[in-house]
Amino acid sequence: MAKDDLLGASLWDAYSNKVTTLMNNPQHQGEIFEGEAEKRGNKLIVADFGAESCGDAVRLYWEIDPKTDIIIDSKFKSFGCGTAIASSDVMTELCIGKTVQEAVKITNIDVEFALRDDPETPAVPPQKMHCSVMAYDVIKKAAGLYIGVDAESFEEEIIVCECARVSLTTLQEVIKLNDLTTIEQITDYTKAGGFCKSCIRPGGHEKREYYLVDILADTRKEMDEEKMKAAADAGGSANFEDMTLVQQIKAIDAEIDESIRQFLVMDGGDMEVIDIKSSDEYIDVYIRYLGACNGCASSSTGTLYAIESTLKEKLSKKIRVLPI
Amino acid sequence: MQVYLDNNATTMVDPLVVEVMLPFFSEIYGNPNSLHKIGTASHPAISKAIDQVYTALNAADADDIVFTSCATESNNWVLQSVFIDHVLNSDKNHIVTTEVEHPSILSTCKFLEEQGVKVTYLPVNGQGVVEAETVKAFITDKTALVSVMWASNETGMINPIAEIGEICKEKGVLFHSDAVQAVGKIPVDLQSVHVDFVSMSAHKFHGPKGVGALYIKNSQALSPLMHGGEHMGGRRSGTLNVPGIVGMGKAIELATTNIEETSAKIRVKRDRLEDAILELSDTFVVGDRDNRTPNTILISIRGVEGEGMLWDLNNGQIGASTGSACASEDLEANTVMLAIGADNELAHTGIRLSLSRFTTDSEVDYTITHFKDAVARLRAISSSFAIQKPTEGGEVQECELHHH
């Protein structure tokens, strides 16, 4: 929130002139009929995407020359708002003259780009990117029908945010590389979740297979596990002060086992680590003497000094050993 | 011609209202709380406005009608103060409201839920009306408040406020009604129904924006929302919005004097517009006309998406409204539209036309022509009316897109 956000933007003011022009007068609106295409020796493909009860629906018509796979003509019908109609119109225009194999490479980003008045300014407000995604989806469906394969097979990777076409692997990498912790950061870095917002969390406009909240949580968990594993692998060479509490206790135990315990046991005693408290200045290691050490005169002088200096030397200069 | 058919959103300020307000900007501008006569000079006008509001609503002298900044404030005041008075400082923990309330009720209820209050959101029937029996069934001995809107902003449907009032009285539960869409459109007589709190807003009945009121029956206790300089008898602090109050008084007087006659005239135009649009195939209007505010039409046009329709009407200089999900910031279907049901289609094809006493017959004629042209153009583009069937396998089996 800031000055520019106080007065909510007008939705329609954010449409490009091209969106407005095509909504008012779509160029490729209409139908191609089976009989007509056949008469010209061509194949007609008609594909639907969406439904009126969903809020938007588009029907795409392709007349294809079966010898060359070239889309000779294309039309559309659309139940939707201005951006849906304009997106459908520009989609058909982008299809005409291309082979089916080329057309299937048209993405929603191409559709939105074709609607821009200038290359720098988005053609539609963020939440309306969804309309261009429908254009992309219906193209894949039509191509699948023509080639005889499932529309899903055209996707080479798992797309989490369809509006910005951000894949699962990209998201995982960006979160890891930049140590991202919030959804807002993910949107800033990748644009994912910045448009129709369906991919952020369940319950949005569209049901998704993957959600950013889950991807973030899973990736962060993975990162923590990796970090811990790295620390564990590094063992004694890792910086004691950066270890987790459990790692610190283990490191102290290991050190005691290695160079202290044998002397205590020889005198019929032992010790255990009770707790560790770290401050900027000190790392206080609370220990308890067991057996003969308990009450031994040296336990608060010589023995204690030996334990403390060993740990200081091997682990950290900040260590103080406090018997309780 | 420019036609304004969005009077449930806001209205034109009646020039007669502007006229009575004008002296209170630069001539009689003193603070009514001051001791000097420059301040007290506004007292007669404020008194008159108070009288005008009491008369318009047939409020008793023992009742309070406190001026606020708008109905959103009035609604917040009731809900938040009932929470403080009867939940935090007493043993109640439950509020009953409906799924179709204005956001100033629904969002406040969500906020109170976060504070631990239990809220029941009642459904509406196929007419968009909350049934009194439903309200009765959900009141428990923990219920602190029932809040049901008098009439719906989206559908214009009128709820059985008198019946609900009796139920609340019998059960000893406080009853609030957001009457923003009722005051000035239909008779509201606060001595013939039992309502504890009533919210209203001047700009919905040709008064100025920035002034509203809360009616409080029998001047009963309700902690203030706005603390400060003890204005309005300590009930609502903040220097009085003198021009606004004077304007609201005049506006409510103009809107309620001969209300039966005025609303009958509006209704004739509304019915004519509605009948003409219903001549189109595959259309339906929500709610029985006799139980609807006389100025409102909520119509669904199959195959024509609401925002697209609004776009074409706007190109024809007609201002209307849609509950379509596409026209909202978050693409979420309007909860009110979903609550009414109608196969979800209403959530995408609903267009609301709301008239006023300033709507003329020629504006209605103009709208009929443009409305029909827009439907014809958009249906020609619409996939819902396409003839050529999809290639085998190219059909949509079910709603692939959305969860609702």
Residues 6+ apart with CB under 8 A from B56: B183, B188, B252, B253, B255, B256
Task: Decide: B312 and B169 in contact? Cβ < 8 Å.
Answer: no
Q: Which residues of B touch A46 (CB under 8 A)?
A: 388-391, 394
Q: What CATH superfamily classification does B259-381 receive? A: Aspartate Aminotransferase, domain 1 (3.90.1150.10)
Q: Which residues of A touch B305 (CB under 8 A)?
A: 55-56, 79-81, 84
CB contact under 8 A, A52 and B348: yes
Residue A69 to residue B360: CA distance in whole angstroms: 58
- Pure H helices in chain A: 17-24, 34-39, 82-95, 100-103, 108-114, 129-147, 168-178, 183-190, 212-234, 245-259, 261-266, 302-314
SS3 at position A44: strand
Instruction: Give the tens place of pLDDT for each residue, B94-121.
Output: 999 999 999 999 999 999 999 999 999 9
Instruction: Give the tens place of pLDDT for each residue, A143-178.
Output: 999 998 888 788 778 889 888 888 898 899 889 888
Q: How confident is the model at residue A2 (pLDDT cuts 50, 70, 90)?
A: confident
Residue A57 sits at φ, ψ, to 5 deg, of -150, 145
* pLDDT tops 50 at residue B327: yes
Q: What is the pLDDT of residue B345?
A: 67
Q: What is the pLDDT of residue A1?
A: 67
B325, B347, B382 ranked by CB distance to A78: nearest: B382
Does CATH number 3.50.50.60 belong to domain B15-256?
no
Kindly state the average pLDDT of the residues A295-300. 74
Q: Which residues of A touch B390 (CB under 8 A)?
A: 46-48, 59
CB contact under 8 A, A12 and B311: yes
Residues 6+ apart with CB under 8 A from A131: A56, A80, A81, A83, A84, A87, A124
Task: Decide: B329 and A127 in contact? Cβ < 8 Å.
Answer: yes
Nearest CA to B256 out of B40, B14, B90 is that of B14
Instruction: Give the tens place of pLDDT for each residue, B22-71.
Output: 999 999 999 999 999 999 999 999 999 999 999 999 999 999 999 999 99
Please classify residue A202 by burial: count the beta carbons closer than 10 Å to its beta carbon, then call 0-12 exposed, 13-18 middle and 19+ buried. exposed
Residue B7 to residue B319: CA distance in whole angstroms: 9
Instruction: Give the tens place of pLDDT for each residue, A87-113.
Output: 999 999 999 999 999 999 998 889 999
* pLDDT tops 90 at residue B156: yes
Beta bridge partners of B128: none
Question: What number is the ipTM of this complex?
Answer: 0.88
Residue A189 to residue A184: CA distance in whole angstroms: 9
SS3 at position B40: helix
Residue A128 to residue A108: CA distance in whole angstroms: 11
Residue B267 to residue B263: CA distance in whole angstroms: 6
pTM given for the model: 0.81
> What is the torsion angle, in degrees rounded to the nearest 10, for the CA atoms of residue A83, residue A89, residue A94 and residue A99?
130
Query: In chain A, what are the domain boundaries?
Result: 3-155, 156-233, 240-323
Residue A102 to residue A92: CA distance in whole angstroms: 13
Instruction: Give the tens place of pLDDT for each residue, B353-363.
Output: 999 999 999 99
Longest Cα separation, chain A: 109
Q: Which residues of A touch B324 (CB under 8 A)?
A: 55, 81
Task: Decide: B346 and B323 in contact? Cβ < 8 Å.
Answer: yes
Mean pLDDT (chain B) is 93
CB contact under 8 A, B331 and A130: yes
Rounded to 5°, angle at Cα B14 from B354 and B158: 35
CB contact under 8 A, B391 and A47: yes
Pick the catalytic residue from B70, B109, B326, B399: B326
Beta bridge partners of B20: none
Q: What is the pLDDT of residue B401?
A: 44
Residues 6+ apart with CB under 8 A from A268: A291, A292
Report the gap between the CA of A170 and the closest CA in chain B (Å).
Answer: 24
Residues 6+ apart with CB under 8 A from A57: A48, A49, A50, A51, A78, A79, A80, B383, B384, B396
Q: What is the pLDDT of residue A234?
A: 65
Instruction: Give the tens place of pLDDT for each residue, B275-310.
Output: 999 999 999 999 999 999 999 999 999 999 999 999
Q: What is the pLDDT of residue A235?
A: 59
Query: In chain B, what are the domain boundaries?
Result: 15-256, 259-381
Residue A17 to residue A118: CA distance in whole angstroms: 10
* pLDDT tops 80 at residue B335: no
Mean pLDDT (chain A) is 88
CB contact under 8 A, B347 and A55: yes
Q: Which residues of A touch B309 (CB under 8 A)?
A: none
Instruction: Give the tens place of pLDDT for each residue, B360-382.
Output: 999 999 999 999 999 999 999 99
Question: Between A and B, how many CB-CB pairs are < 8 A?
Answer: 145
Instruction: Give the tens place of pLDDT for each residue, B233-284.
Output: 889 999 999 999 999 999 999 999 999 999 999 999 999 999 999 999 999 9
Kindly state the average pLDDT of the residues A50-75. 92
Q: What is the pLDDT of residue B402?
A: 43
> Strand pairing of B143-147 and B174-178?
parallel
Q: Which CATH architecture has domain A240-323?
A: 2-Layer Sandwich (3.30)
CB contact under 8 A, B387 and A8: no
Assigned token pair, B36: 């000097």
CATH number of A3-155: 3.90.1010.10
Residue A242 to residue A228: CA distance in whole angstroms: 11
Q: How confident is the model at residue B403 (pLDDT cuts 50, 70, 90)?
A: very low
Nearest CA to B130 out of B107, B92, B96 is that of B96
Q: Which range, A128-142, A182-196, A298-312, B48-62, is most confident? A: B48-62
Residue A190 has, within 13 A of its CA and on its CB side, a CA count of 31
Residue A296 annotated to the active site: no
